[in-house]
Amino acid sequence: MKKTALLPLVTYPEPLPGEALAASVEFASKAGFDLYALSLEADFPDVANALSRLLLDVPEMIRRAEAQSRIGGEALLKAVASLAVQHGVESEAGRRRSAQELAGDAAAEEARYFDLSVVPMPKVGEQGRAIAEAIVFGSGRPTILVPEALVVRGLRRAVVAWDGSRVAARAVNDMLSLFGEMDQVTIVSVLNEKPLPADDLGDRLAAHLIKRGVPARALAVELEDQPIGATLQDFAIQDGAGLLAMGAYGHSRLREFVLGGATRTILEDVRLPVLMSH
């Protein structure tokens, strides 16, 4: 049975760039996922202040902004439908309106009805990252971040960031559930970044996967003079992997997530498809 991924589409203040959209549909095609494209449209509250109407005509500004968001969403949904046909992907379309600051929460709620989310990650702008962050931590489903500058590699070759944690274990299970048979899984533990509970973490996971019939090997790499997220992605790319799987660390503080180091740096700069599980 094919799996269906939510594809969230940012429409405001700027619509999702075409390159980022195309990369995500191409990834879904290579991975064998169907898509449910969701247009996230802005819904601004009414302003009843008489002064705002007199001086700024705020209600008219709101109408224009909402219309801009709606029109942008319609264009994105049409683009997804066209790209899906080109790539042989089954797709459906939906729309959801929400207050701008709650767009990520709305996307996370919708994501719970699908097997996973495929989230486009544009090179510029914060909105894509905010949506991704909300889905990763709020959906209860695995999330795959797809960079705008996508170079498609074989998705049957993956790297797992492994520290023995609960979220890392879930990422491994999600990866195998979503992608099935793998040609090679490289388990990477990064040294000198934080204390690890044992020296043989990667070897134990590799032994377990090999018993399941998964070709696996374990490696330890030194943290380079750069953020850990960059070290992990550089290794995965050099290893020829088409996917990096990792657990996502973070907790909420007054509606703002305090992110772990690897999670934060990868959300800021996605270089290859990254599966995040929380």
29-66: per-residue pLDDT in tens? 999 999 999 999 999 887 655 455 555 677 778 889 99
Percent of the chain residues past pLDDT 70, beyond the cut: 91
| pLDDT tens digit sequence for 46-55 | 765 545 555 5
Query: What pLDDT, in 10s, does the model give residues 165-183?
Result: 999 999 999 999 999 899 9
Structure tokens at 208: 């377990």
Tell whether the torsion through CA atoms of 197, 200, 202 and 208 is positive or negative: negative
DSSP letter, residue 112: T
DSSP 14-71: SPPPHHHHHHHHHHHHHHT-EEEEEEEEE-PPP---HHHHHHT-HHHHHHHHHHHHHH
Q: For residue 49, count other CB atoms closer than 10 A to its CB.
A: 11
Task: Provide CATH 3.40.50.620 ranges for the chain.
Answer: 4-147, 157-277
Q: Which has more confidence, 117 or 61?
A: 117
- With residue 131 as reference, give the H or E element that holds it: helix 127-138
138-147: average pLDDT: 97
Which CATH number fits the domain 157-277, given the four candidates 3.30.420.40, 3.40.50.300, 3.40.50.620, 3.40.309.10? 3.40.50.620
Tokens 């490696």 label which residue?
219
Top-tier CATH class for 4-147: alpha beta
> Which of the pair, 152 or 149, is modelled with greater confidence?
149
The pTM (predicted TM-score) of the whole model is 0.92
Confidence of residue 116 (pLDDT cuts 50, 70, 90): very high
Calculate mean pLDDT across residues 153-172. Answer: 94
- Average pLDDT of the chain to the nearest whole number: 90
Mean pLDDT, to the nearest integer, of 97-123?
96
Nearest-angstrom CA–CA distance, 228 and 211: 30
Report residue 252's pLDDT band, with 50, 70 and 90 as the boundaries. Answer: low
Burial class (CB in 10 A: 0-12, 13-18, 19+), 180: exposed
Q: For the chain, how many residues are written?
A: 278
The answer to whether residue 233 scores a pLDDT higher than 80 is yes
Residue 126 pLDDT: 78
Residue 116 forms beta bridges with which residues?
5
Q: Nearest-CA neighbor of 30 among 135, 149, 148, 179? A: 179
